[in-house]
Amino acid sequence: MTTETLIWLLPLPPLAAFALIVLFTNRSKALSHSIAVAAALLSWLGSMAVFIQAIGVEHLGEHPFHSVLEWLPVGDKPFEIGVLVDPLSAVTLFFVGWTVLMIFIYSVGYHNFGQPAGDHDHPGLPPHGATVHGHTVPSVEPMYSRFFAFIALFAFGMYTLVVSDNLLTLFVGWEIMGLCSYLLIGFWFAKPSARAAAIKAFMTTRVGDVFMLMGVAYLYAATGTLSFREIFFNEEVLKHLAETPALGGFLGFSAAGLIGVLLFIGTIGKSAQWPLHVWLPDAMEGPTPVSAMIHAATMVSAGVYMVIRMFPLLSAGWEEGGPLTPAMTAMAFIGALTALFAATIALAQNDIKRVLAYSTISQLGYMIAALGIGAYVAAAFHLVTHAFFKALLFLGSGSVIHGVEHGVLHTGNHKVDPQDMFNMGGLRKKMPVTFWTFLIGGFALSGFPFVTAGFWSKDEILADAFANNLPVFLVLALSALLTAFYTMRQITLTFLGEPRTKEAAHAQETPWTMTLPLVVLSVFAIGYGWVGIPEGLTGGAIPNWFHEFVAGTLPEHLPVLEFNILPMLFSIVIALTGLGCGYYVYRNVKAGDPDPLQKPLGMVYDWLKNKYYFDQLYDRIFIQPSIWVSEVFTTLWVDRGLIDGILHGVARISYSVGGILRNDFDLPVINQFIGDGSAKVVRSAGFELRKVQTGRIQQYMVAAVVFAVGALAFFLLR
């Protein structure tokens, strides 16, 4: 089998698993998860095989694995579907393969496989536990098989997106994931909050998708192709795009600029960047493996992957050190803003998963900002390391929740929210594996120096920002400080100190299906950083493999950044300060205590807690007006008012014209005057004439004589 064939086959096992589970094995839980995990394993195996082949190829960027099929023959050139593995897709495949497989295995334990069915469980609600011998034990998810079907489809979408060689195939994967996020966030559809969250996620990302589709259409109209390589490896096309003014001369953009901005808006939606970030925290309504899937392995990573992929277009016309292109400016600005903005919100969240959700938004902001200032490799590097440690953190938080839920079942007090960190504390003793792996993930997120992967990737972004764009550097450095702080807040509140509730005291370590993925992922959360250590630091003793490999994706060669110890010192200080402060502030929180930040921050805390009131604002400025437009303007005024009004008006007029004709013309004029009238005239004429017809000869004679005389006179006198 050639590598190309293998790449074609990569996305298919999960799709087959989806079909098999939905059509045949829906009733058997064991069979369903076996199929799904086996599919994930196959795709993982394939991905690793492709990855190993890929790193063995010299100059993979110039000679990637590439194959195309005709899909929809319209236009001068048919739309194609195709696969491509170049260095960027190879490293992406690597992390997607691992995280997806881990999440699949984890889901088996998370959904309580092997436990009895619940006493009162309904499809569409989270399981409530079952009673066995007088004890309450966790119960198995009622829609177990369906869950595996949906995440398998999700994985299919992601694999399709990663191996696609053009924007059309990429968009296919993109949309499939949008659909799956809807299905999975709303997995517990009997919960109104889950339904609302699913709709919100779908609609918000859809707004981004539409802009992206416009970008795709524009790109196609301008170049006649959607293939990555035909566009990016063609100097002339890029130059042409960079020099043509955008349609309508929009803000003085070039065509490349406008296309770039449109595509980037797609990423804003998918990767939950400000101002389309609102859906992602609510997406926590889904089961935790889904959160890991969305936040690490697939969906949000896909958004960043797309802009990294499109970088040659986004940066068309940009030169190292020159002014940024519009799309890059937008990315630098929005990325940096989002990084900071989400980090501040994360400070005031008490739900363990929501903190992680905001940290995801913030970290994605890093990648976007990095790309905005031209740090291509740094963005890709952070994408990979983030995927590992964020998958680890989400799965870890799911394990924590699972443990605390165990305590809830034990005490029977269902009022305790098992996701609220203020109900936890001291879990390190009860759940050691979860604790140590979560600690690794948290330290990676904070950028704990030297040992964690997050340090190296974040440092690379900061170093690039330091060298190229100081304002971005400052914003990102501040966000890094906040990140370290809220991460330590989370770890301290959850695992350190003493249990604040009985439920936390009775928490229990989760089964091996859940802890094994945590251990595997923490290996990468540490080790993956070592492939990208700046050569300047070690004097070239350890090669910066990641930079060399990934930089080869681009046609021109990216210069390696001059090593500078200053930003690295900054990162070290920032990470340690944040972690230290976080521990110091939260180390002594007792049961029932308010957040120690609440008082000093005052009003600001409320703002943060309510996420700057963006939900309320969007309701006012988008949702209400569009309801008004549909309900009042189009429906009442135009359709029923104007159009039907005219129609009914015409009907009424024709009706009354008929009436008028009948009453005012037909009856009086035609009937009485012409119809009846002529009859009357004839009749009355008859009456009058009858008087003449007397029957007397004398009178006739007189009349005849008078007539004759008259006639004679007429002729003579004429």
Residues binding other proteins (CB under 8 A)? 70-76, 79, 124, 168, 171-172, 175-176, 179, 182, 189-190, 195, 199, 202-203, 206-207, 209-210, 213-214, 217-218, 220-221, 247-248, 626-627, 629-631, 633-635, 638-639, 643-644, 647
Q: What is the dihedral of CA 267, 269, 274, 280, to 10 degrees?
A: -120
Compare residues 199 and 523 and give the one whose CB is closer to other proteins.
199
Q: Which two tokens stand for residue 400?
A: 């924590």
Q: Which two tokens stand for residue 524?
A: 């990468």
Q: Which two tokens stand for residue 35?
A: 């199929």
Residue 174 C-beta: closest distance to other proteins, Å: 8
Sequence-separated (6 or more) residues with CB below 8 Å from residue 566: 466
Pairing relationship of beta strands 135-137 and 65-72 according to DSSP bridges: unpaired
Residue 215 C-beta: closest distance to other proteins, Å: 10
Fill in the amino acid letter for 135.
Answer: H
Q: Which two tokens stand for residue 156?
A: 């299919």
Residue 657 C-beta: closest distance to other proteins, Å: 16
Residue 124 C-beta: closest distance to other proteins, Å: 8
* DSSP 8-state code for residue 80: E
Residue 141 C-beta: closest distance to other proteins, Å: 17
- DSSP string for residues in 210-278: HHHHHHHHHHHHHHS--BHHHHHT-HHHHHHHHHSBPGGGGGG-BHHHHHHHHHHHHHHHHTT-TTSTT
Q: Quick check: helix, strand or coil at residue 75?
A: coil
Class of residue 271 by CB neighbours under 10 A (exposed 0-12, middle 13-18, buried 19+): buried
Residue 158 C-beta: closest distance to other proteins, Å: 14
The answer to whether 266 and 208 are in contact (CB under 8 A) is yes
* DSSP 8-state code for residue 85: E
Compare residues 172 and 585 and give the one whose CB is closer to other proteins.
172
- Measured from the Cβ of residue 118, the count of other Cβ atoms closer than 10 Å reads 22
Q: Which two tokens stand for residue 458?
A: 């974040």
Compare residues 170 and 330 and give the one whose CB is closer to other proteins.
170
Rounded distance between C-alpha atoms, residue 253 and residue 110, angstroms: 50
Compare residues 75 and 471 and give the one whose CB is closer to other proteins.
75
Residue 503 C-beta: closest distance to other proteins, Å: 30
The answer to whether 442 and 434 are in contact (CB under 8 A) is no
Residue 242 C-beta: closest distance to other proteins, Å: 18
Q: Which two tokens stand for residue 5?
A: 């064939």
Residue 257 C-beta: closest distance to other proteins, Å: 15
Q: Which two tokens stand for residue 176?
A: 């499939």
Residue 255 C-beta: closest distance to other proteins, Å: 11
Rounded distance between C-alpha atoms, residue 105 and residue 401, angstroms: 17
Compare residues 81 and 484 and give the one whose CB is closer to other proteins.
81
Compare residues 11 and 372 and give the one whose CB is closer to other proteins.
11
Residue 347 C-beta: closest distance to other proteins, Å: 33
Residue 172 C-beta: closest distance to other proteins, Å: 4
Compare residues 186 and 497 and give the one whose CB is closer to other proteins.
186
Q: Quick check: helix, strand or coil at residue 118?
A: coil
Compare residues 565 and 623 and give the one whose CB is closer to other proteins.
623
Compare residues 629 and 704 and give the one whose CB is closer to other proteins.
629
Residue 76 C-beta: closest distance to other proteins, Å: 7
Compare residues 252 and 323 and give the one whose CB is closer to other proteins.
252
What phi and psi, each to the nearest 5 degrees, are found at residue 302? -60, -40
CA angle, 616 then 619 then 623, to 5°: 175
Q: Which residue do the tokens 């993979």 mark?
A: 60
Compare residues 634 and 663 and give the one whose CB is closer to other proteins.
634
Rounded distance between C-alpha atoms, residue 219 and residue 314, angstroms: 12
Residue 122 C-beta: closest distance to other proteins, Å: 10
Secondary structure of 553-620 in the HEC alphabet?
Answer: CCCCCCCCCCCCHHHHHHHHHHHHHHHHHHHHHHCCCCCCCCCCCHHHHCHHHHHHHCHHHHHHHHHH
Rounded distance between C-alpha atoms, residue 571 and residue 460, angstroms: 10
Compare residues 31 and 203 and give the one whose CB is closer to other proteins.
203
Q: How far is CA 697 from CA 701, 703, 709, in A?
A: 6, 10, 18
Compare residues 175 and 666 and give the one whose CB is closer to other proteins.
175
Compare residues 226 and 421 and give the one whose CB is closer to other proteins.
226
The answer to whether 453 and 527 are in contact (CB under 8 A) is yes
Rounded distance between C-alpha atoms, residue 301 and residue 307, angstroms: 10
What phi and psi, each to the nearest 5 degrees, are found at residue 298? -120, -85
Residue 327 C-beta: closest distance to other proteins, Å: 17
Residue 24 C-beta: closest distance to other proteins, Å: 15
Largest CA distance in the chain: 155
- Measured from the Cβ of residue 648, the count of other Cβ atoms closer than 10 Å reads 12
Compare residues 168 and 378 and give the one whose CB is closer to other proteins.
168
Compare residues 63 and 648 and give the one whose CB is closer to other proteins.
648
535-552: buried (b, 16+ CB within 10 Å) or exposed (e) per residue? ebbeeeeeebebbebbbb
